[in-house]
Structure 1
Amino acid sequence: MSADELCGGAFRYASADLEKIMGGEKEFLSDSSDYLDTSVELVERTREEGATRSRGRAQSKCNVGVRARSAYVVTRYYAPADLADRGNVRGGVHYDLGLHATSGFDTAKIYFECVSPNLDGSVKDPARIMIDLGYRLSEGNDRLSEGKGAGTLRETYMRLAHSAALSVARELECEGDGGLPERLILKRIN
């Protein structure tokens, strides 16, 4: 499966970045071609239940792999308190993107809100969506450490998380793409 097709097309806006972190590979294995559909279902179900966040371990997840490298992307519905207590990402850098965006040595997270005609009551109470992208090498060194290339990889992870977030926002038909730009310009804020 090509990078553009993975996870229901979640990486279509950054497919070259996915190929880059996966060692230049062009074909991948994935366990979920319906990631975008299940992300929409998760948001709709959480709102229908009147819950403030996705319950327990409820999430939409897609795993991607090739040889000794793997990545995942997860969609969760977060509670307002989760944004205030978003924790630290190891080696994290914050970006001016969505409500909060952080990228570190092996993960990138984007929090954004969605007002959509498909989500009842979202004008007064926007859907709260968090995208979590993770990356792992399985051959000994499983994480990036501070040093040469760390900033470039952080930005690559953020572009991949942005692609997934923008894809989810568009699938939900969020007004203004949930505040996510179509053309990403990364601006550090710390």
Structure 2
Amino acid sequence: MLIGSRRSRVALSGLGVAAALMAGAVACGSGGGDGEKDTEPATAAKSVAPEELCGGAAISAGAGKGLEVITGSSAFEESGARATVADAARALKETFTGSTSGEGDICRVHTPEGTKDVEVRITWNLLGAGPGDAAPASKYTVLDMGERAGAAVDGAFVDFACRSGELSGPQGSPAHVAVNAEPGGMPTEPGSDAEALKGAYATVVHSVSLAMAQELGCESDGGLPRTPVTTRK
């Protein structure tokens, strides 16, 4: 399941503004009461700590620090009710019953409303097979996690093999799962500290990958380490 992007920040067009002004003029000229009208104040989106994102079981304390490095914020908009690792794992299982390939969102992380809008999109993929000896794109620093992992200044990924009672392929072959973290929305220039950004993305994607492997019931957590690896393999 792909999760829709958050609110659209589009200004009223000139036509919309003119219509609004005309409506106001009619209301003022109607002569009813003192011209004042009760309005409901807009409700701001709730801000939460990073550990509460994506269902509350996906972002470790270290990954929360990583999100702060990536976004410049220590607080974030509350994730949607369906933007959880549990929901993503359920969607992946349903996809795997009919295909060994597919994709979907896990969650999208946003800085709080009223601040510069920075988004980190975290997704899953079902891969038809393991990576074998294939090398990732040259922008990635290769990391020793799962079947294959890599980190760059604009994202990171972890591929892992999942043997689970609910994800058994032909002849008991494992499902091959990828978790990705990357900027969402309009492209922006990454920060100047490349190694810090690589480490931050690697920490975030490891945390969510580990939570996903555990939610899927993968044997030995899909071969993922308990702590993130952020240096070159």
TM-score by length of 2: 0.67
Verify the 8 A CA contact 2:131 2:148 in the aligned structure 1: no
1:99 maps to amino acid: E
Corresponding residue to 2:194 among 145, 150, 166: 150
Corresponding residue to 2:213 among 152, 169, 187: 169
Instruction: Say whether 1:39 aligns with 2:88.
Output: yes
**How many aligned residue pairs are there?**
180
Give the Cα–Cα distance (whole angstroms) in 1 for the partners of residues 128 and 159 of structure 2.
Answer: 11
Q: Cα gap change, 1:28/1:83 in structure 2, threshold over 3 Å: closer, same or farther?
A: farther
Q: Which runs of 5+ in 2 are unaligned?
A: 1-47
Verify the 8 A CA contact 2:76 2:110 in the aligned structure 1: no
Instruction: Tell me the equivalent position of 2:145.
Output: 97
TM-score by length of 1: 0.81
Mapping of residues 1-190 of structure 1, within 5 Å: 1-8=48-55, 9-12=57-60, 14-31=63-80, 33-49=82-98, 51-54=99-102, 58-66=103-111, 67-68=115-116, 69-80=118-129, 88=137, 91-121=139-169, 124-135=172-183, 142-144=188-190, 148-189=192-233
Identity, % of aligned positions: 24
Q: Which runs of 5+ in 1 are unaligned?
A: none
Q: Cα gap change, 1:155/1:64 in structure 2, threshold over 3 Å: closer, same or farther?
A: same
2:224 maps to amino acid: L
Verify the 8 A CA contact 1:76 1:131 in the aligned structure 2: yes
Give the Cα–Cα distance (whole angstroms) in 1 for the partners of residues 159 and 171 of structure 2.
Answer: 18
1:166 maps to amino acid: L
Residue 74 (structure 1) shift? 0.2
2:166 maps to amino acid: N
Max Rg structure: 2
Residue 86 (structure 1) shift? 6.8
Residue 186 (structure 1) shift? 2.9
Residue 83 (structure 1) shift? 6.3
Q: Cα gap change, 1:82/1:129 in structure 2, threshold over 3 Å: closer, same or farther?
A: same
Residue 161 (structure 1) shift? 0.4
Give the Cα–Cα distance (whole angstroms) in 1 for the partners of residues 171 and 224 of structure 2.
Answer: 17
Determine helix, strand or coil for the equivalent of 1:30.
coil
Segments ≥4 residues shifted beyond 2 Å: 19-22, 24-35, 81-87, 117-124, 135-138, 184-187
For structure 1, which segment, 100-109 or 161-170, has the greater mean C-alpha deviation from structure 2 after superposition?
100-109
Q: Root-mean-square deviation (CA), in Å?
A: 2.6
